[in-house]
């Protein structure tokens, strides 16, 4: 069955919790297929994606824009300075107007409720490019990368070390969906939101995955197949940088902290990275690191996503 024959057409991606496990896996396999193709098919000829950016971006903007170009469509960059939503027009009115012009919307913003309201009033697919609570597109690329390097999710363990932020949230949800064990290691005051942990653990009952949260790095890293980290002060939290540097100083990914991981572990990071803070250069630039393959996979998985929902 081709991807165009599925029920994904017109579907929003607000969080991976809203998608079935089979739908997620289908996107991953389709992305791997698209990655292998030397000449991308013009699957979205004549289609336009509107990209709303209230948070700046490198990988999100470039991967969506290039992805649309390779699929024969067009991507329109809309910063908060370019559209009236940033000057007081309601989200509902913006959604209704853009639905008359575009074929899909990708938005990268702060409050997750903004994405939910946009999707509620839009007649076209809405894709969450990032909110303070979730980063589903990044995790699709992460899962694709894990599948490429580890062949399957069953019996594998992902350990995320750092802030209990949108990455931790989406990694738990995505792992729970596909049957990948996921341990979040975070300082006591920086754990992921309890309600999202509970949601992931509930989802995991169906797949058999184990979702755990701990502040014990040595315990959490044991037998990890995938080690993942993120910056300690994400966008919007820069004013807490000094406080966070102190709180996270014992959670750096380095040779010593990785002692308990499996010998063939892979290291992942959503980027941008701060070498010398959350990870040392010898790890992120070392033989176990797959961070640039992971970054490239943003392009392929987003092409698969766009072709599927549009």
**Which is catalytic among the residues 108, 112, 169, 300?**
108
> Catalytic residue at 108?
yes
- Convert 54-68 into a string of H (helix), E (strand) and C (coil): CCCCCHHHHHHHHHH
CA distances from 150 to 16, 137, 147, 179, 283 (A): 21, 20, 5, 13, 19
- What spatial distance separates the first Cα and last Cα of the chain, rounded to whole Å? 17
Residues contributing to the annotated binding site for L-ornithine: 166, 230, 234-235
> Catalytic residue at 298?
yes
As a whole number of angstroms, the distance between CA 128 and CA 140 comes to: 12
**Which is catalytic among the residues 112, 298, 300, 302?**
298
Three-state DSSP at 118 gives: helix
As a whole number of angstroms, the distance between CA 241 and CA 223 comes to: 31
Residues contributing to the annotated binding site for carbamoyl phosphate: 57-60, 84, 108, 135-138, 270-271, 298
Three-state DSSP at 185 gives: strand
**Which is catalytic among the residues 225, 230, 244, 269?**
230
Residues contributing to the annotated binding site: 57-60, 84, 108, 135-138, 166, 230, 234-235, 270-271, 298
Q: Which residues contact 16 (CB under 8 A, 6 or more apart)?
A: 24, 134, 136, 139, 140, 170, 173, 174, 177
Token pair for 81: 């300075």
**Which is catalytic among the residues 112, 135, 269, 300?**
135
**Which is catalytic among the residues 133, 244, 270, 302?**
270
**Which is catalytic among the residues 26, 70, 138, 302?**
138
> Catalytic residue at 244?
no
> Catalytic residue at 82?
no
Positions marked active-site: 108, 135, 138, 230, 270, 298
């Amino acid at each position: 069955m081709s991807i165009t024959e599925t029920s994904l057409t017109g579907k929003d991606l607000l969080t991976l919790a809203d998608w079935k496990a089979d739908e997620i896996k289908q996107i991953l396999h389709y992305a791997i297929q698209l990655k292998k193709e030397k000449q991308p098919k013009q699957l979205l000829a004549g289609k336009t994606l509107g990209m709303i950016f209230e948070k700046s971006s490198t990988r999100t903007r470039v991967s969506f824009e290039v992805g649309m170009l390779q699929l024969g469509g067009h991507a329109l960059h809309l910063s908060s300075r370019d559209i009236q939503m940033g000057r007081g027009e309601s989200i509902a009115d913006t959604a209704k107007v853009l639905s008359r012009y575009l074929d899909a919307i990708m938005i990268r913003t702060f409050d997750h409720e903004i994405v939910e309201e946009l999707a509620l009033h839009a007649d076209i697919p809405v894709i969450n490019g990032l909110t303070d609570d979730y980063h589903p597109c990044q995790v699709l690329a992460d899962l694709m990368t894990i599948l490429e390097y580890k062949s399957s999710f069953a019996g594998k363990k992902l350990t995320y070390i750092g802030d209990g932020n949108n990455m931790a949230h989406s990694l738990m949800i995505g792992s729970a969906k596909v049957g990948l064990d996921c341990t979040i290691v975070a300082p006591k005051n920086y754990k992921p939101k309890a309600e999202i942990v509970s949601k992931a653990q509930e989802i995991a009952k169906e797949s058999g995955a184990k979702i755990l949260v701990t502040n014990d790095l040595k315990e959490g890293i044991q037998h990890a197949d995938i080690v993942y980290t993120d910056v300690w002060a994400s966008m919007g939290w820069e004013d807490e940088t000094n406080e966070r540097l102190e709180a996270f100083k014992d959670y750096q990914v380095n040779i010593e902290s990785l002692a308990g991981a499996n010998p063939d572990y892979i290291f992942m990071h959503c980027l941008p990275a701060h070498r010398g803070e959350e990870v040392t250069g010898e790890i992120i630039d070392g033989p176990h690191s797959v961070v640039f393959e992971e970054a490239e996979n943003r392009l392929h998985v987003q092409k698969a996503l766009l072709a599927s929902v549009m």
